[in-house]
Structure 1
Amino acid sequence: MVDRVGSDPQYDVFADEFLEHARDGLYNAHYDRPACLELLGDVGGRTVVDVACGPGLYAGELVARGARVIGCDVSPRMIELARQRVPAGEFHVHDLNERLGWLADASVDLVVFALAFEYVDQRAQLLHELRRVLRPGGALVLSIPHPTGDWLRQGGNYFQTRVIEEVWSGGWAVRYWIAPLERTCEELHEAGFLIERMIEPRPVPAGADVDTERYQRLSAEPTGFLAIKAIPDPRRT
């Protein structure tokens, strides 16, 4: 049984295909991004860290809304694409299992971490780092695969945290953690966060024109994603 994801850039080999898939696809453009951008709120004039930024789809939207964006990703090709698409952003190739030494304490206003927490082995360390770099009054917006959906697909013990391996429809081989919701909530708590909001998004109406069958399923079943807004707990230093 595999007990770690590792630090190899899994998405590097299909980074360009992923950009085409995620730019206008149902799951990313009409489901995950609208939910996370809503939780981030007004980003004008604020410094936002885009963790696991991929090809810069979030970064482009955030810059268009007036934010200063700092992005990072373990995939060198993803960072190349992000720099090409969002020249106003600052981007770093970075393994999220390592500390964010290039960010100072209390130096950013917001963190968006969309659909990548499940690829990190050093989860607790990373959340502590994100808490460290956030200013007072800042927030982390985190989206993850819905744990119920993971369990319905994978079966077994819902409460067992484990690494799984899958081949997705594009032929993309991926390896990631699945964990009960309780585990993620406890990790946020231990890192010094309070959960301000947790939502189970539904796709926006335009998604029905992209993929009617999946749109209807995501509108009715807990098989997609969760989105969480967490703030630094002011009671803890």
Structure 2
Amino acid sequence: MAYDAMGQDFADHAAGGAANAHYDRPAMLAALGNVADQDVLDAACGPGFYLEELIEGGARVRGFDGSEEMIRLARQRVGEGVEIRQAGLDQPLPYGDGSFDSVLCALAIHYAADRRATFREFFRVLRPGGRCVISTQHATTDWLRKGGSYFDVVLETDIWRVGGREQEVRYWREPLSELCSAATDAGFVIRQVIEPRPAESMRQAWPEDYAQLMQRPGFLMLDLLRLSEVGRPD
């Protein structure tokens, strides 16, 4: 698995890197809002940066990831007292129905081969009135970068350079309509489609990245709501 191979190098990069620390993380946490006294699931939790922030915000957190190395790093960051299980986004989740008030899935839904099934699992583990906030690579930006038809669903390959080494990372590219349909077919109502701007902190640390992201989005977020037991408005 790519994240097992990248391990500590990825965690070091994500700790202060432009895309993670100054773009996705602040945008996702702002969208999720006040989590005090909530049961929150961090889906594909990686090395635990979001878990740490959620705990600081007063949430009761649980997490899972498919990578043994990411789980090790997450436990190292937040302690053994936080339940972190090994599970993948393409598997039934190891939680009961209605276990959580919120689900957060940061920059990971594009790794799931069946996004509809993943959203159905997120819906299942949420309580009525619960929210699911996800971020992913922006469909238009990926299409402009990769070419081909915007409307195709394609398994893409990128080469990341992390810690001085190259790592192949595979992910699914799909049009925005497909992603939104996957969420609504699972029962969710879309509260908001968010094209985040970078945090002001990026301007000083990463001025070129800041200027680019202020003109062309890199990521896309969906803020989803579970309205009722059957997932439809009453």
**Range class of TM-score, shorter chain:** over 0.9
Whether the aligned pair in 1 keeps the contact of 2:123 and 2:187 (CA below 8 Å) is: yes
Q: Cα offset for 1:131?
A: 0.3
Are 2:150 and 2:175, in contact at CA under 8 Å, matched by a contact in 1? yes
CA contact (8 A) 1:63 1:89 kept: no
Letter in 1 for 2:36: G
Shift of 1:172: 2.0
Aligned to 2:87: 94
State whether residues 79 and 91 of structure 1, in contact with CA within 8 Å, keep that contact through their aligned partners in structure 2. Answer: yes
- The SS at the match of 1:55 is coil
Deviation at 1:48, TM superposition (A): 0.5
Alignment partner of 1:123 is 2:128: no
Mark the CA change 1:166 to 1:210 in structure 2 (over 3 Å): closer, same or farther.
same
Matched, 1:227 2:227: no
Corresponding position of 1:188: 183
Distance 2:67 2:223 in 1: 26
**Contact 2:128–2:229 (CA under 8 A) maintained in structure 1:** no
Deviations 1:89-110 (A, max 9, x none): 210111221101x211111000
Are positions 1:18 and 2:10 aligned together?
yes
- Gaps of at least 5 residues in structure 2 are none
SS in 2 for 1:226: strand
2:20 counterpart residue number: 28
Say if 1:25 and 1:210, in contact at 8 Å, map to a contact too. Answer: no
Residue of structure 1 in register with 2:201 after alignment: 206
Task: State the alpha-carbon separation in 2 of the partners of residues 200 and 96 from structure 1.
Answer: 23
CA distance in 2 between counterparts of 1:110 and 1:235 reads 15
Amino acid at match of 2:193: M
Q: Deviations over 1:168-213 (max 9, x none)?
A: 2331210110000000000011000000011111111111122111
Match of 1:217 in 2: 212
Aligned residues: 227
Alpha-carbon distance in 2 for matches of 1:15, 1:65: 26
Q: Which amino acid is 1:11 matched to?
A: Y
Question: 114-123 or 54-63: which moved more?
Answer: 114-123
Secondary structure, aligned partner of 1:43: coil
SS at match of 1:176: strand
Contact 1:43-1:62 at 8 Å conserved across structures: yes
Quote the RMSD (CA, aligned, Å): 1.2
Residue 144 of structure 2 corresponds to 152
The whole-number CA distance in structure 2 between the counterparts of 1:159 and 1:174 is 21
Displacement of 1:83 in angstroms is 0.5
Query: Which runs of no fewer than 5 residues in structure 1 stay unpaired?
Result: 1-8
Asked if the contact 2:44–2:88 (Cα under 8 Å) also holds between the matched residues in 1, the reply is no
Partner letter of residue 121 of structure 1? Answer: A
Q: How does 1:13-162 map to 2 (within 5 A)?
A: 13-87=5-79, 88-100=81-93, 102-162=94-154
Q: Supply the AA of the counterpart residue of 2:16.
A: D
Instruction: Give how far 1:235 is off.
Output: 8.0
